[in-house]
Structure 1
Amino acid sequence: MASDLPFYKTVIAGGLAGAIEISVMYPTDVAKTRAQLSTTRTTMLRTFGEILRSEGPLGLYRGVLSPIMAEAPKRATKFAANEEFKHLLSSADGSLPSYRACTLDMRVHVCVCAFVRLCSVCICAFVCNTWDCVRQMVAKEGVLSVYNGIFAHICRNSAWNGTYFAAIGTVRNWFPSKPDDSHAKVLSKKFLSGLVGGMIGVVFATPFDVVKSRLQNQLPGQERIYTGVFSSLKRILATEGLSALYKGFFPRLVRLGPGGGIMIVAFDFFSNLLRPL
């Protein structure tokens, strides 16, 4: 994507692209997390309405500072690791088959998950208006308690990003850019590849995201109903049905479908802006 850029410029481009995607799409993430933690059926529009009535417009951006602050170092690690693994997994002719792109990004996100874990806990705490629970977790259960659900986080990110980048490569092969394409047409193809990749990724990652939210939302001193990733998946499936594993699916689809397209276009924009003339 930007392999000809120096490392520090890749960091800047990725961080700016991530901040823009979050700023545009964050309200859907708030609605998604609220829906996942709800024990009753709800919709994204209803959740938006409830937040606006009770908390005002700023309620839709509760906790936004945490993911924005995490984006620059997260993208720095992601893009650097992505380039290193890409060289190792590319074929002799320099191409990267879709199945290798999938395994590549799974490896990348195992590398970055531990680093961004604390910020993810903070997001859930802000969204649910229970920031004090983070301090309580550290005081009562130790610093490592903020890493509750780390394996679910790795599973979610690996599932989404693996299928996301594999789908991007596939869509780009289906609709390759041509020399006579206008700039708008090139950008639309890139957005389409990111959109399709994001939507496919959501299908595979949402059950792990539900489990992650449930694991994170268990307060100190409470009985831990959810423990491991797969035991939690089994419990939710048995007690609430398959639909519960896709709670918040539509808000997440709205966030990560267009969000995936925005990320690709924004990263391309900033990469070109930082590239020497």
Structure 2
Amino acid sequence: MSGASQVAASGGSARDVFCNSVAGAAAGVFVAPFVHPLDVVRTRLQVDGVPSGHKGSVIITSLQTIIKKEGLKGLYRGLSPTILALIPNWAVYFMVYERLKGLVHSHGWLSQYHLRNNRSRYKLLFDYIHQHFEDYICWKPNRFMYTWSFDLIKRLMSLDAVDNGDQVSTGTNMIAAVGAGAAQAITTNPLWVVRTRLQTQGIRPEVVPYGSVPSALIRIAREEGLRGLYRGTLPSLVGVSHVAIQIPAYEMIKCYIARKDDEAVDQPGPVNVIFATIVSKLAASIVTYPHEVVRSKLQEQGQGGRDRYAGVIDCVKKVYRHEGVPGFYRGFFTSLLRTIPSAVITFASYEGVRGFLLRALLPDEKLLQSHLALETPKELKRE
């Protein structure tokens, strides 16, 4: 394989990075306006529970109450930070995901690193942290999001799975999904805090309303410090398990259908994308939804100087004590009505935009050949 081909295979060419980032950002923008009203309802149900005295459908009752008290504007509270968060959210996610998946697959790291006992694993972890201590202290964001965080995961992997030819293994997809999800959560958490505050301020009359997204960010930072902007980060990182289930499941289903229908894996049909998205999203949501309830409660608190929960564990204990297991699934069906169509639009948009860009842009090797063809012999001789 040529050097250019190796780069392309690892998902690291400028063309691939550009296509993955733009497709991810476009997918985020397309989906937000369609499902935002349900997102507002879901967030309020997670924070405050079911309204007392409601009749009929909780979703319809909640929508009617919001329109009656706050107008149509109330259904779109927090839309600006949602869009601002979704653009880097999906751009970062799909870019990092494809990059990690390509690197793990092309270099065969899953089959190269077999740590046979815990002692060697702990020793390797200690040696790695010691060697990169300066990077931890300096807290270099780019290196944290990608280089040494992925390198550490790679070295600690002791899976026995081996990639089979061009087929990307489930372990590879899981590594890529977890790494991309962590980068996504850390990068965009402040915007999700603002979104949650804007969506719930309609039911908090005692709190001075937030204005624009920039003013909300400044006010939260001034009143609550950096901690306020990163409320709910820990449950968000725990929520990486959601994509660790959803994305590998999506890839597995997509590959299975492609083999069955004799289609190209990178060019799935719309029906196949929809089916793979619905099944994978439903499975991931059932397993990981409780972390969203905890995250919303932690992100919402702090308005008006009120802290009802001391942290993640305290929040989990109080929700279980007062509401039991159902408390961790408040707004679940509302969430499904929002997240499944959202996921379908997101993945369909991503696959469509990415496929269009990959077809529209010349591959790296063709670009190089066309560039060399334009060079004069004199220029080539000088080199």
Q: CA deviation at 1:30?
A: 0.8
Contact in 2 for aligned 1:31/1:48 (Cα 8 Å): yes
Please say if 1:69 is aligned against 2:75. Answer: no
State which drifts further: 133-142 or 250-259: 133-142
| Identity within the alignment, % | 21
Matches of 1:151 and 1:255 in 2, distance apart? 23
Contact in 2 for aligned 1:89/1:96 (Cα 8 Å): no
Matches of 1:26 and 1:221 in 2, distance apart? 25
2:75 maps to 60
Measured against aligned partners, the alpha-carbon deviations of 1:24-56 in whole angstroms (never above 9, x if no partner) come to 222211110011112445622211121122222
Give matches, 1:24-43, under 5 Å. Answer: 24-40=34-50, 43=58
2:200 maps to 128
1:217 maps to 300
2:117 maps to none
Please say if 1:164 is aligned against 2:246. Answer: yes
Contact in 1 for aligned 2:247/2:280 (Cα 8 Å): yes
Specify the code of the residue in structure 1 equivalent to 2:347: I
Matched residue pairs, number?
Answer: 272
Matches of 1:12 and 1:63 in 2, distance apart? 23
Q: CA deviation at 1:103?
A: 3.6
> In structure 1, the residue corresponding to 2:359 is in which secondary structure?
coil
Matches of 1:103 and 1:230 in 2, distance apart? 26
Q: CA deviation at 1:92?
A: 5.2
TM-aligned CA distance change 1:154 to 1:67, over 3 Å: same
Runs of 4+ in 1 over 4 A off after TM superposition: 2-5, 132-136, 220-223
Measured against aligned partners, the alpha-carbon deviations of 1:66-116 in whole angstroms (never above 9, x if no partner) come to 121222222232122112210243325232233442342112111221210
1:45 to 60, 63, 66: 60
State which drifts further: 77-86 or 115-124: 77-86
Contact in 2 for aligned 1:152/1:209 (Cα 8 Å): yes
Structure 1: gaps spanning 5 or more residues: none
Q: CA deviation at 1:131?
A: 2.1
1:20 maps to 30
Q: TM-score, normalised by structure 1?
A: 0.87
Matches of 2:352 and 2:77 in 1, distance apart? 28
Specify the code of the residue in structure 2 equivalent to 1:33: T
Specify the code of the residue in structure 1 equivalent to 2:357: L
2:334 maps to 251
Contact in 2 for aligned 1:149/1:216 (Cα 8 Å): yes
Please say if 1:190 is aligned against 2:190. Answer: no
Specify the code of the residue in structure 2 equivalent to 1:172: K
Matches of 2:80 and 2:50 in 1, distance apart? 29
> In structure 1, the residue corresponding to 2:307 is in which secondary structure?
coil
Q: CA deviation at 1:268?
A: 1.5
State which drifts further: 117-126 or 165-174: 165-174
Q: CA deviation at 1:214?
A: 0.9
Q: TM-score, normalised by structure 2?
A: 0.65
Q: CA deviation at 1:134?
A: 5.8
> In structure 2, the residue corresponding to 1:142 is in which secondary structure?
helix
Contact in 2 for aligned 1:35/1:44 (Cα 8 Å): no
TM-aligned CA distance change 1:89 to 1:228, over 3 Å: farther
Structure 2: gaps spanning 5 or more residues: 1-8, 106-162, 202-208, 361-383
1:78 maps to 93
> In structure 2, the residue corresponding to 1:264 is in which secondary structure?
helix
Matches of 1:138 and 1:212 in 2, distance apart? 19
Please say if 1:109 is aligned against 2:181. Answer: yes
2:113 maps to none
State which drifts further: 191-200 or 50-59: 50-59
Matches of 1:221 and 1:70 in 2, distance apart? 24
2:376 maps to none
Please give the root-mean-square deviation of Cα atoms over the aligned residues, in Å. Answer: 2.5
State which drifts further: 219-228 or 185-194: 219-228
Contact in 2 for aligned 1:215/1:227 (Cα 8 Å): no
2:324 maps to 241
TM-aligned CA distance change 1:273 to 1:104, over 3 Å: closer
Please say if 1:147 is aligned against 2:226. Answer: no
Measured against aligned partners, the alpha-carbon deviations of 1:215-262 in whole angstroms (never above 9, x if no partner) come to 112125645332332332232112211000011101111111222121
Matches of 2:170 and 2:313 in 1, distance apart? 27
Matches of 1:69 and 1:180 in 2, distance apart? 36
